[in-house]
Amino acid sequence: MFKIESYVTPLILSYVDKYIKNIKPEDSQVSLWGGDAVFHNLDLRLDVLEAELHSPFTFSTGHIHELRIHVPWTKLASESIVITINTIECTLKLKSTEDRSSEKSGQSQKAKSKRQEVAVSPPGYIQSLMSKIVNNISIVCNNVILKYLEEDIVLSLNARTVSLTSVNSKWETAFTELAAPDFKSRKTVTVSDLTICLDQCNAQGKIPTYQEPFLYRCSLTVRLCSTYPHASGAKALKTCIEFLFPKLDFSLSDQQIPMFIRIFNLALALYLGDFKNIPSAKEEAVDSSTIDNDANDEEENSGSQSWAGWAWGYVPAILPVWENETTEGSDVLPSDRERIFQLGVFVERINWTFKWAEMIRDVSISSAPSRLRFQPFLTARMQGCYSSSNSSRH
Q: What single letter denotes the amino acid at residue 9?
A: T
Mean of pLDDT over the chain: 77
DSSP state of 365: S
Residue 32 lies in a domain: yes
Instruction: Look at residue 333 and tell me if it is in a domain.
Output: no
Q: Label residue 15 by pLDDT band (50, 70, 90).
A: confident
What lies within 8 Å, CB to CB, of 34 at 6+ separation is: none
Confidence of residue 336 (pLDDT cuts 50, 70, 90): low
How high is the pLDDT of residue 113? 46
Tell me which residue range forms the domain holding 232: 5-285+298-326+338-392
291 domain-assigned: no
Residue 290 lies in a domain: no
SS3 content of the chain, % helix, strand, coil (to 5): 30, 40, 30
Q: How many domains does the chain contain in total?
A: 1
- N-to-C CA span, the chain: 47
Average pLDDT over residues 327-343: 60
Tell me the pLDDT band of 43, cut-offs 50, 70 and 90. very high
For residue 228, the model assigns a pLDDT of: 85
Q: Which tens digit of pLDDT belongs to each residue from 223-272?
A: 999 988 877 766 788 899 999 999 999 999 999 999 999 999 888 887 77
**DSSP bridge pairs for 42:** 64
The sign one gets for the Cα dihedral 325, 331, 332, 334 is positive
pLDDT at 302 over 90: no
For 67-96, write each residue's pLDDT tens digit: 999 988 888 888 999 999 999 999 998 877
**pLDDT for position 208:** 86
Whole-angstrom distance, CA of residue 67 vs CA of residue 86: 6
The answer as to whether 293 is a domain residue is: no
Instruction: Tell whether 136 is covered by a domain.
Output: yes
Tell me if 17 is assigned to some domain: yes
Segment 113-143, tens digit of pLDDT: 444 444 455 556 677 788 888 889 999 999 9
Q: Which of 221, 161, 193 is nearest to 344 (CA)?
A: 221
Other C-beta atoms within 10 Å of 154: how many? 21
Residues whose CB falls within 8 Å of the CB of residue 93, separated by 6 or more in sequence, listed in order: 57, 58, 60, 148, 149, 150
Nearest to 44 by CA among 141, 151, 159: 141
- The answer to whether residue 182 sits within a structural domain is yes
Does the predicted TM-score (pTM) go above 0.75? Answer: yes
